[in-house]
Structure 1
């Protein structure tokens, strides 16, 4: 793929993610105009809005996968891996603001990928509890729900907070708020 074509597709995907998160009924013509490309360019690559949305979901999953890999959830010390994960996932959440629940209903392959990624994070949080950084007496899924909400809050309610500082806030809140006393 030519460099300009790749840039156009990237612009369409990122613009599509933002506009479809704001309004799931956004037309391809609107997305194309906002991305600065001709709508025929978009239609050549994505025949329907659903095909574009599926590509957006795949791009979000690809980005999340890289974050999970880069965080080294298995190898790195828990606090370091947690910070790396949050610092990496905040920009992903901001760049790809589409609702993953919608993705999981619409695309079985995306659903399976998301579940695999979610499992990796759950195993990591269990490691953190086993290592004594998180309380082991919390209801199942509680710590994960808290982490997800903290990431979502800092990513979207505090968009001016840079990812390193966002990670500091989330990790401190999680470890102090849910950490062992």
Structure 2
């Protein structure tokens, strides 16, 4: 019998702050684990692997992030913000060609710093509305940047936004293949790509050094090994 003025729910109410704190800690552990795994292994990591890395059960992971897209959105929200900011900064540069080249270098560097983000920039996630909204914002800004840069005469007239997608796909592949043995190989790729985008006489940053033959050979050996199976 519950005394007047009280309810049977009082004990559970008293536990709620603790439960909320525990849920918050679990969420933080899941995000930290996902960031580590995505950064080093890419987005192919399974949800089960994330749960193990975080030290939580699959049910706990599912309560915090019902879908893979929900988890990816939460993990990469800050990086997508940085991606959008890079476009804004490029547009603010009084020299559009300089802004363009710096933008290409900055976005490719973001990919190199995080293999998971390298994957995010070459995929679409229709269910991840917030992430896709930031991508659209960046795309629209890049289209404007192209127009401004072509007006300077330094960017080829036949350059299109799709060329950036091709570059990001190529860069993601180079990063995945060489990150362990020649981590700066992507810079050489970007140097060549910028020279392909430029018109004759356009000012260009110095060409990055090529990776050593030994480093590339090690990367090729690693690529030939069977990929580990992720449950």
* TM-score in terms of structure 2 length: 0.56
Q: How many residues align?
A: 164
**2:50 aligned to which of 22, 31, 36:** 31
Greater helix share, 1 or 2? 1
Matches of 2:37 and 2:64 in 1, distance apart? Answer: 11
Structural mapping, 1:8-157, within 5 Å: 8=29, 11-15=32-36, 17-18=38-39, 21-23=43-45, 26-27=46-47, 29-34=48-53, 37-39=54-56, 43=61, 46-50=64-68, 51-69=70-88, 71-94=89-112, 95=114, 96-100=117-121, 101-103=123-125, 105-136=126-157, 138=158, 142-157=159-174
- Work out which of the two has the higher radius of gyration on C-alpha atoms and give 1 or 2: 2
Distance 1:119 1:66, change over 3 A: same
Task: Give ranges in structure 1 of 5+ residues lacking alignment.
Answer: none
Matches of 1:60 and 1:84 in 2, distance apart? Answer: 17
Question: Aligned Cα RMSD in Å?
Answer: 3.4
Contact preservation (8 Å) 1:133, 1:180: yes
RCO higher in 1 or 2 (8 Å CA, sep ≥ 6)? 1
Task: Give ranges in structure 2 of 5+ residues lacking alignment.
Answer: 1-20, 201-231
